[in-house]
Amino acid sequence: MRIDISLKNIASTKVLQDILEKDISKVKRRVRMLKKDEALHLIISGEKNPHKELFSVSLKLFLPHKTIKVEEENKNLAKAFNGAFAALVKQIDKYKHMLERHLDKKRTFLTK
């Protein structure tokens, strides 16, 4: 999986790197079944609003036949990243459930 991280007006700290590593590992665990021969790409963008104390995080995950985009804003940087990754994981789980349901229908049709 290819991962691109861009931060604007945010200093990269050890705490932030630990948060990102933990959350990225959750995403990697969930997309493990999807990445057969297809390339997966995760874009992580974090930005601090220069005029007020507000952080915005945007995540884009390019899957074989779908793109998932999640945005989150919060006054706390860690909460913004955690909220965005939680929403992304939820969307991945929905997509996997839909794929599994589709494959089950296909198998049932073929066995009849």
Sketch out the chain's domains with CATH numbers: 2-111 (3.30.160.100)
Average pLDDT over residues 53-65: 92
pLDDT of residue 92: 92
Confidence band, pLDDT 50/70/90 cuts, at residue 22: very high
What mean pLDDT is reported for the chain? 87
Q: What percent of the chain has pLDDT over 70?
A: 86
One DSSP character per residue, 8-73 reads: ES----HHHHHHHHHHHHHHHHHTTTT-SSS--EEEEEEEE-SSSS-EEEEEEEE-SS-EEEEEEE
pLDDT of residue 20: 93
Whether the CB-CB separation of 31 and 88 falls below 8 Å is answered with: no
pTM of the predicted structure, to 2 decimals: 0.84
